[in-house]
Every structure is written in structure tokens, then in C-alpha cells.
Amino acid sequence: MSRTTPYIIFKSNPYDFGEEGVVDSEVQFSIYEQDISRQDILEQFTMFVQAMGYPVASSESLQFVDRNERSVVEDAIQHYTTMHGNIYKMGESA
């Protein structure tokens, strides 16, 4: 059965730059497949984010992370940075 209305819509509304000559544009991804997998949703959302102009490196990915596993990783990073004083957290600069 073919759907005529989207099951999922990712939509970016125009941003008012307030500058002459800058075109307001809208980015919209419509997914019609109702039985889409979580991995496929993440891939579609990645393409949507790229279409909005955000760079996503080929080595990067979106994923679901278990909170318990994330906590273990964060604890290990905290332990490592505490032991090695000159290590900066992601996003921080010297």
C-alpha cells in the first residue's frame, strides 16, 4: 500500500537573516515508510542535518547510546583526565 501522507517529517523553518539578497529557504524530509528501522531513521536524520548545512564527517554517526554505557565511558574519561592533568575535555582549548 502506498501512503499519500508522510509518516515522519523533519522540517527546518526559514531563518530570517534580515539581509537583502539572502533567500529564506525551508528544508523538509518526508518519510513515507511506516516500518522504517531505527538505523534508517538515523541515516535519514543525518542527511537532513547535512541538508540544513551542518557538516557531518564520514567518520561521524548518530546513534542511540545506553545511558549506563555512556556513564562508564564518561567515568573512564574523567579518570584518565584526572590522572593526566594536561588533557582537555572535548571542545575545550588550551
* Tens digit of each residue's pLDDT (9 = 90 or more) over 59-82: 988 888 787 777 777 787 777 777
pTM reported for the whole predicted model: 0.63
Output b/e per residue, 7-30; b: 16+ Cβ within 10 A: eeebeeeeeeeeeeeeeeeeeebe
Strand partners, 28: 11
Query: How much is the pLDDT for 23?
Result: 73
Question: Domain extents for the chain?
Answer: 1-61, 64-94
Q: What does each C-alpha distance from 52 to 20, 49, 55 come to in angstroms?
A: 20, 5, 9
Q: What are phi and psi of 3, to 5 degrees?
A: -85, 145
CA 14, distance to chain mean position in Å, is 19
